[in-house]
């Protein structure tokens, strides 16, 4: 049986409006998320069970901080795939991790979708796009955004996903972006609890109007889309984030936005001329310490 390796991209949220809390405890949102050319990889090696033994899934990872038990979304996705398809084989997953945890970059969710894609290929595609989306939404709220592999609009708790209209997506595709993360994570659950405590929501009608206006204007640059109302509670606690954002704005003219619930931030790099990448990386590490991660990549 063949082995397959699937690329697992990180994502950034170019627009994120948390619009309110639902009765089930989740939050409603409107968001534009775009995958990037940088990420992890998931290698899947099918394993036939030993005689008389049930098929098993196992996970190995180069990052010792990544859990390897049933709490990992890769193994959750594999279990959900088996339940949906009755696939009788096991598999060994090898996760090559580059995207840090607690970063707001969707690494774990992307890994889960990569595992689903790979298993579906190995099993001769028993699931169509709708079937994969259904399982992805079961595994995690933002898993489904990674299925189209293009910029998407997310609604609901993140499970309602549709590709961004083609003209709008063209304004994003290929844009160079600098992603940078301090050496601390931010808990997604904590960030959403804080925005609830602050009642810092953006009304749904306002969120849709703001997004709709950007989509409808073919001259609107990608920078005009940038918004994230989760920044306020996170920036209030982690003051190093807004301090660096202000410095990069003053020194380099860049608009910095936090991705998701953080702690990663990003800046779209200028369309014209060479970005001063060495100076930017130096400024980031001077502010956040030498362990700060800095990655140049591009929107897909």
Burial category of 65 from C-beta neighbours within 10 Å (exposed 0-12, middle 13-18, buried 19 and up): exposed
Domain spanning 167-298, CATH architecture:
2-Layer Sandwich (3.30)
Is 11 marked active-site?
yes
Is 142 marked active-site?
yes
CA distance 112 to 271: 33
Can you give the residue ranges of every domain in the chain?
4-165, 167-298
Between strands 90-96 and 57-61, the pairing is parallel
Pick the CATH number of 4-165 from 3.30.230.10, 2.40.50.140, 1.10.3720.10, 3.20.20.80: 3.30.230.10
Distance between first and last Cα of the chain: 31
4-165 and 167-298 share one fold:
no
The SS3 call for residue 72 is coil
pLDDT tens for the chain, 300 residues long, are: 689 999 999 999 999 999 999 998 889 999 999 999 999 999 999 988 777 777 799 999 999 999 999 999 999 999 999 999 988 899 999 999 999 998 999 999 999 999 999 999 999 999 999 999 999 999 998 899 999 999 999 999 998 999 999 999 999 999 999 999 999 999 999 999 999 999 999 999 999 999 999 999 999 999 999 999 999 999 999 999 999 999 999 999 999 999 999 999 999 999 887 889 999 999 999 999 999 999 999 999
Q: Which of 28, 76, 142, 181 is catalytic?
A: 142
């Amino acid at each position: 049986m063949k082995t397959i390796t699937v690329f697992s991209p990180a994502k950034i949220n170019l627009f994120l409006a948390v619009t309110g809390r639902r009765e089930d405890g989740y939050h409603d949102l409107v968001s534009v998320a775009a995958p990037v050319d940088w990420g992890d990889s998931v290698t899947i090696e099918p394993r036939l069970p030993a005689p008389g033994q049930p098929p098993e899934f196992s996970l190995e990872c180069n990052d010792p901080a990544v859990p390897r038990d049933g709490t990992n979304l890769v193994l959750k996705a594999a279990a959900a795939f088996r339940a949906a398809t009755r696939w009788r084989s096991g598999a060994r997953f090898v996760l090559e991790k580059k995207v840090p945890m607690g970063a707001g970059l969707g690494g774990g969710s992307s890994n889960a979708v990569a595992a689903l894609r790979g298993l579906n290929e190995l099993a001769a595609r028993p699931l169509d796009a709708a079937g994969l989306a259904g399982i992805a939404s079961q595994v995690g709220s933002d898993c489904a955004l990674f299925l189209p592999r293009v910029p998407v609009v997310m609604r609901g708790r993140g499970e309602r996903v549709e590709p961004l209209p083609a003209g709008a997506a063209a304004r994003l595709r290929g844009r160079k972006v600098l992603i940078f993360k301090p050496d601390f994570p931010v808990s997604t659950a904590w960030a959403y609890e804080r925005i609830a405590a602050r009642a810092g929501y953006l009304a749904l009608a306002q969120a849709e109007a703001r997004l709709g206006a950007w989509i409808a204007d073919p001259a609107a640059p990608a920078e005009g889309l940038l918004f994230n109302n989760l920044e306020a509670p996170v920036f209030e606690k982690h003051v190093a984030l807004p301090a660096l954002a202000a410095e990069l704005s003053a020194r380099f003219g860049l608009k910095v936005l936090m991705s998701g619930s953080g702690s990663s931030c990003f800046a779209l790099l200028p369309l014209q001329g060479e970005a001063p990448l060495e100076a930017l990386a130096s400024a980031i590490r001077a502010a956040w310490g030498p362990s700060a991660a800095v990655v140049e990549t591009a929107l897909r």
